[in-house]
Amino acid sequence: MFYVNPQATRAPYPADLQDIMSIARAQQSREWLAHWDGLTPGATPLRSLPDLAASLGVGNVLVKDEALRSALGSFKALGAPIALVRLLLRQFEAKGFTAKSLLGGEHRNALAGFTAISATDGNHGRALAAAAQSIGCRCVIVLHAHVSDEREQAIAAYGAEIVRIAGNYDASVEEAAALASRHGWHVVSDTSYEGYEVIPRDVMQGYGTVAAEVSEALDGDASQQDSACPVTHVFLQGGVGGLAAGIVSYLWERWGVWRPTFVVVEPEQADCLYRSAIAGKATSASGSVDSVMAGLACGETSPLAWRFLQASVDAFMTVTDAQAVQAMQRLARGTDNDVPFVAGESGVAGLAGLMPAAATPAMAAALGLTSDSRVLLISTEGATAPSVYAELVGEPATSVEARQQAWLAR
């Protein structure tokens, strides 16, 4: 399914949105995260794939590889820690804590009675658990029926207490909120709902680090605002909309009317953003939600994220699980000129959308995809469920990584 958004505009970044998320706040988050040893120092790779671009009939395809952001294996390592730090700074303002002292675990004794809780499809919960372990507070994670045992074990390895429920992701969000209310715990969620927007804003603001690194890699001086964006198109994962909002807000503020064309891609079973675009307001998915793209298997649009997406995303589309698997295999395979690398099920959603969009003349025309187009994709995760990755790609992630090392050593 493909829908050109009639609400999309080419205008400067609105002041009311800048009050919520901004480049300045993203930079502050980035500076704070530099103090956390849970992240790999430096920027993640921005991979150029010329053979893939040629096969799709576009000028260039760039993929930001977030699998290497940390041992957590996903971009979520940027959001949950920042949200937890900002929450603790607000809660304990009189204590004089700083982001550096919190992430360094200097206040474990003072925070022993503090509990953070969240629902997750896997990656957000793992990042929150890792941040809580570093900081020294308690963490409870609510998992729904479709989260694999493998993902559960990866979260528990960081000391989180696991609560299992029946139902889907949206049911786990409700359960986390209920448990927090009952026990006086604090929800640190990446999706907003009525009366709950501050923490999801902080999560999304952390994701601005990805856009900042892309901007610096392609354009150098982010203070220069009078030129076109070096990429013409950005294909972004859907989910509840948090990543897309974090990236879109930064690039929209940075380039204003010269912003790139934004396309949001979702699983066909979890099409809440696509349905929101048609309805003109944040709404629910129409399908079963369950998808091989586990991190995007979300049925409810984040209302806060939607405020950023409604006027900026030029088109919304859905893809099948089979298309996601095809994209995973293509990136793993590589070519003589394209480095092979590991991209997980949710990480390849942008490519899974770009491939049919470029191959379908009507869609390509609607998006302005041409031989001059420079397309940015965000590979948001690696093999965060290694057995699932191996089954879908036909080889383990370690095999792909070995071929990557051989490619780089040529």
Task: Point out the catalytic residue in the list 76, 170, 290, 314.
Answer: 76
Contact status, residue 62 vs residue 47, Cβ threshold 8 Å:
yes
Within 10 angstroms of residue 400's Cβ, the number of other Cβ atoms is 24
Catalytic: 149?
A: no
Tell me which of 65, 121, 271, 290 is the catalytic residue. 121
Vertex 401 angle, CA 383 and 149, to 5°: 20
- 320: CB partners within 8 A, 6+ apart: 267, 268
Q: Which residues make Cβ contacts (< 8 Å) with residue 8, sequence separation at least 6?
A: 262, 311, 312, 313, 314
Give the SS3 label for residue 3. Answer: strand
Q: How many angstroms separate the CA atoms of 304 and 193, rounded?
A: 8
Output the 3-class SS for 205-220. HHHHHHHHHHHHHHHC
Cα 307 to the chain's mean position, in Å? 17
Distances (CA, A) of 384 to 62, 248, 352: 22, 25, 18
Q: Please list, in sequence order, all residues whose beta carbon lies within 8 angstroms of the beta carbon of residue 135, skipping any fewer than 6 positions away.
A: 84, 85, 88, 102, 103, 105, 107, 108, 111
Say whether 336 is catalytic. Answer: no
Q: What residue type is assigned to position 249 of the chain?
A: S
Q: Which residues pair with 318 in a beta bridge?
A: 266
Give catalytic residues, as residue numbers.
76, 121
